[in-house]
Amino acid sequence: MPAARELVIRGAEVVDGTGAPARRADVLLGGGRILAITPETTGAPGRRRPGAARVLDAEGLVLAPGFIDMHAHSDLALLRDPDHSAKAAQGVTLEVLGQDGLSYAPVDERTLAEVRSAITGWNGDGSDLDLDWRSVGEYLDRLDRGIAVNAAYLVPQGTLRALVVGWEDRPATPAERRRMRQLLAEGLAEGAVGMSSGLTYTPGMYADDAELTELCRVVASYGGYYCPHHRSYGAGALEAYREMLAVARAAGCPLHLAHATMNFGVNKGRAPELLALLDEALAAGADISLDTYPYTPGSTTLAALLPSWAGEGGPRETLRRLADEECAARIRHDLEVRGADGCHGVPVEWETIEISGVRDPALRPYVGRTVAASAALDGTSPWATARRLLLADGLGPTVLQHVGHEENVRALMRHPAHTGGSDGILQGGKPHPRAYGTFPRYLGHYARELGVLTLEECVAHLTGRPAARLRLPDRGLVREGYRADLVLFDPRTVAAGSSFEEPRRTPVGIPYVLVDGEFTLAEGRRTQALPGRSVRRTPC
């Protein structure tokens, strides 16, 4: 269905993103905005303006704000494939990029090459793209050429450190801290909405709390927020959360906890302890939000599990150490006996690590198998198989980590500070299904089937609450004057089509999605429209 000057969505059940009860109404759109919302019984806007608008019959459908993915890894995918059906088909109308402290701006030639190598498992190596930007503003300008969904950006703290300090495990000098603060301020002034960290990823993990606090003060001065992937989701998880709360408190900076969860066997059933910690901070006046994905397994790169010392110096040094027998033996000991900091302080359980993607086609037989199962077939040890994959694929393998707990997932999604984030990695032969199914899974499985959230609560978690965190003055709600970023779904059938067996299947029960009033999905099929643009920080 092509875009129109005016459109009436007639007879929808409007779930407006505030958590208020659904109400039946007709909604008039025009010029990319919501012009009027009229209770159906008083006469539809389309009938008040005969001939001025087309009508979409929404009988049996819910009209909601478009979903906001608070944790996306589509930094290059949006440029490589602007169609972006993985998210458009879910009803996503805005993604937040630059996550986990590593992305592609700001950079220079050296840093860009290093970052491309370090996170090739997240986004591909970028060799198929013209990465012609260097600053945050230039990257956002590149997005403005036309994409399927809107996108906001977090300045990645690890990339800042790589650019200024390098990949060395040492404190930044006063001059280096000044330079990082300057670059961060420039990125925020150019439109970034805050700063991310990946404190189990090199080189961001080498920053101490004093350095992070200095940077967060800059973020706060620009009205942004701090989004850390903190130092542990396993052993020491609560201590890691406390550290982030202390940093944000010292800096006076709003805090958004990335893919907040409690994983690994040591944290089974411990979500209430985390929530009590957050509630105490909220009661004391802290500004805190968090995002989660509605699945138990996590996903990252195989290289991310290595101890931090193995990553010092950058990807080339990591590969050199893996090739050296003495260093490799030390890495193995840290992984399997001590519990590497990259593996959250927990000794690795190779039977929980499933290879989800590789770059080298010759390695594809490993995809879909755990490292332990692959090692058994190879007739070798799991470490030998993992080491071979890392070396042969240039740190490229991505993995699923089957270490989560359902009771923790449900407890966290009920919290009032919760928002939705896919943490979706679109690369690999068998990616995590959250990249293609997060938002319909919330609506179908957790709201309709399990009743963990009511439909109205669920929509608020996915729309109004994240929009408030992003300080968006005209998105995230079905309200007159707001931008027409909208989704129509069938509450009786909406569900994730993706699964761990078939992760790229599209959702069901989502027939229409609009971005700035243009249909990106119509009658369940992706249109050719690319109305998405960068969404830049709103001045405070």
In a 13 Å sphere around the CA of 17, the CA atoms on its Cβ side amount to 24
Residue 40 pLDDT level (bands cut at 50, 70, 90): confident
Report percent pLDDT > 90 for the chain: 95
Query: Is residue 47 pLDDT above 90, yes or no?
Result: no
Average pLDDT, the chain: 95
Q: Cα–Cα distance between 20 and 459 in angstroms, integer?
A: 10
Q: What is the arithmetic mean of pLDDT over 202-211?
A: 97
Nearest-CA neighbor of 537 among 470, 490, 448? 470
Counting residues of the chain whose pLDDT is more than 70, the rounded percentage is 97
Residue closest to 204 by CA, chosen among 181, 224, 229, 236: 229
The residue among 52 and 53 whose pLDDT is bigger is 53
Tell me the per-residue pLDDT of 375-410, one tens digit each, with 9 for 90 and over. 999 999 999 999 999 999 999 999 999 999 999 999
Q: Quote the pLDDT of residue 31.
A: 96
**Averaged pLDDT for residues 71-79:** 97
pLDDT band for position 451 (cuts 50, 70, 90): very high
Cβ count near 6 (within 10 Å): 17
Average pLDDT over residues 222-237: 96
Structure tokens at 362: 């010759």
DSSP-assigned beta bridge partners for residue 290: 257, 418
pLDDT over 80 at 57, yes or no:
yes
Q: Using alpha carbons only, what angle is made at residue 417 by residues 343 and 17, rounded to the nearest 5 degrees? A: 125
Q: What is the mean pLDDT of residues 92-110?
A: 98
The residue length of the chain stands at: 540
Query: How would residue 539 be classed by pLDDT, with cut points 50, 70 and 90?
Result: low
Is 426's pLDDT higher than 60?
A: yes
Q: Are 425 and 122 in contact (CB under 8 A)?
A: yes
Instruction: Give the position of tokens 């198998």.
Output: 369
Pairing of the two strands 23-30 and 6-14: antiparallel
At 5 the pLDDT is 72
Residue pLDDT, tens place only, 454-500? 999 999 999 999 999 999 999 999 999 999 999 999 999 999 999 99
The reported pLDDT for the residue numbered 49 is 47
Q: What is the pLDDT of residue 2?
A: 41
Q: Return the pLDDT at 82.
A: 83
Which of 138-159 are b and which e, b meaning 16 or more Cβ less than 10 Å from the residue's Cβ?
ebbebbeeebbbbbbbbbbbbb
Instruction: Tell me the per-residue pLDDT of 148-186, one tens digit each, with 9 for 90 and over.
Output: 999 999 999 999 999 999 999 999 999 999 999 999 999
pLDDT-derived band at 538 (thresholds 50, 70, 90) equals confident
Provide the b/e sequence for 202-216 (b: ≥16 CB within 10 Å). bbbbbbeeebbbbbb
| 413: pLDDT strictly greater than 90 | yes
